[in-house]
Amino acid sequence: MRTPIIAGNWKLNLTIAESRALASAIAKASPESGAEVIVAPVSLSLSAVAEAASGTPLKVAAQHTHAKDSGAFTGELSPALIQDAGASHCIVGHSERRSLFGETDAGVNEKVKALQAQGLIPIVCIGETLAQREAGDAISTVTAQVAAALEGVDVSKLVLAYEPVWAIGTGKTAAPADAQEVHAAIRAWLTEHHASLAQQVQILYGGSVKPANAAELLAQSDIDGALVGGASLKAETFIPIIEAAIAS
Ligand code: 13P
């Protein structure tokens, strides 16, 4: 059985004090077992959130990293610093990074390797655009992204997150059966290329997950949790999603 993961991607939201307070509230609702809960604050809040999560089951993720640990990379942050700040995970290849900041499949692969070398768990995001879905290319797009991201990496030490671009921040959630179809295709790819690990890799769904649709999505056999944006910014909308995962 795969433990469900509920991860909150706070994107560019919340002050340091607000992040600390929200993390404390979420930590109180995070179980010791039955579900894993992660929050991803802005980089400047990582230390404060890690401090609030310390001694609780809540885990902390960065939203982005550079592949190199140091050097002339103005404005960047590194796997070593993310770990130093107290995080255990890092989101890689989010569609906003791909579309707004030029993140490529090759860059994602390099960052996954750098994070694993530092002992951090990458949360690797993949997902098709609306045009790709309408052209019938959703599964081929997503499996190509998975293949590129996972080239030469340790598949036992990462999490995948399927986030259809058209469902992010739009209020449009993939129908549970449509999401399941893509998750099953990702697992089929894993079975073909990493047979012994395919059943243990957690594949999260992301895109307008909220308390009203979480249980139905989490009930799908290949959906192992959720990567939540908007609904993760308030304890009253994020905690019910954690509770749905515990009950799933
Ligand atoms: P929303 O839940 O706001 O659609 O965001 C999803 C997301 O991008 C999480 O990484």
Give the list of residues 6+ apart from residue 21 with CB closer than 8 angstroms, or none.
52
As a whole-number percent, the residues of the chain with pLDDT over 70 amount to 100
And the tokens for 239?
């905690």
Best residue among 5, 6, 9 to mutate for probing ligand 1's pocket (most ligand atoms within 8 Å of CB) is: 9
* Span 183-205, pLDDT tens digits: 999 999 999 999 999 999 999 99
Q: Of 36, 94, 103, 183, which residue is the catalytic one?
A: 94
- Domain 61-227, CATH among 3.20.20.70, 3.90.950.20, 3.40.50.1260, 2.40.50.100: 3.20.20.70
The question of whether 32 is a catalytic residue gets the answer: no
* Mean pLDDT, the chain, integer: 96
Q: What CA–CA distance (Å, rounded) separates 16 from 136?
A: 43
pLDDT at 10: 98
pLDDT value at 81 more than 90: yes
The question of whether 163 is a catalytic residue gets the answer: yes
- The secondary structure of 96-162 as a DSSP string is HHHHHH---HHHHHHHHHHHHHTTPEEEEEE---HHHHHTT-HHHHHHHHHHHHTTTS-GGG-EEEE
pLDDT at 219: 97
pLDDT value at 40 more than 90: yes
Q: What CA–CA distance (Å, rounded) separates 244 from 38?
A: 15
pLDDT at 59: 98
Site residues for ligand 1, CB cut-off 6 Å: 9, 94, 163, 168-169, 206-209, 227-231
Average pLDDT estimate for 216-241: 98
Closest ligand 1 atom to Cα of 206: 6
Domain ranges of the chain: 61-227
pLDDT at 167: 85
pLDDT at 169: 81
Q: What CA–CA distance (Å, rounded) separates 47 from 83?
A: 10
Q: Whose CA is closest to 46, among 13, 84, 95, 94? A: 84
Closest ligand 1 atom to Cα of 230: 3
Length of the chain: 248
Q: What CA–CA distance (Å, rounded) separates 46 from 85?
A: 6
Residue 75 alpha carbon to ligand 1 centre in Å: 24
Best residue among 91, 208, 210 to mutate for probing ligand 1's pocket (most ligand atoms within 8 Å of CB) is: 208
Residue 227 alpha carbon to ligand 1 centre in Å: 7
* CB count in 10 Å sphere of residue 133: 21
Residue 143 alpha carbon to ligand 1 centre in Å: 20
Residue 57 alpha carbon to ligand 1 centre in Å: 23
Burial of 157 (0-12, 13-18, 19+ CB in 10 A): middle
Average pLDDT estimate for 94-98: 96
pLDDT at 86: 98
Average pLDDT estimate for 214-224: 97
The residue whose CA is least distant from atom 2 of ligand 1 is: 229
The better pLDDT of the pair 69, 1 is held by 69
Q: What CA–CA distance (Å, rounded) separates 173 from 182?
A: 14
Residue 145 alpha carbon to ligand 1 centre in Å: 19
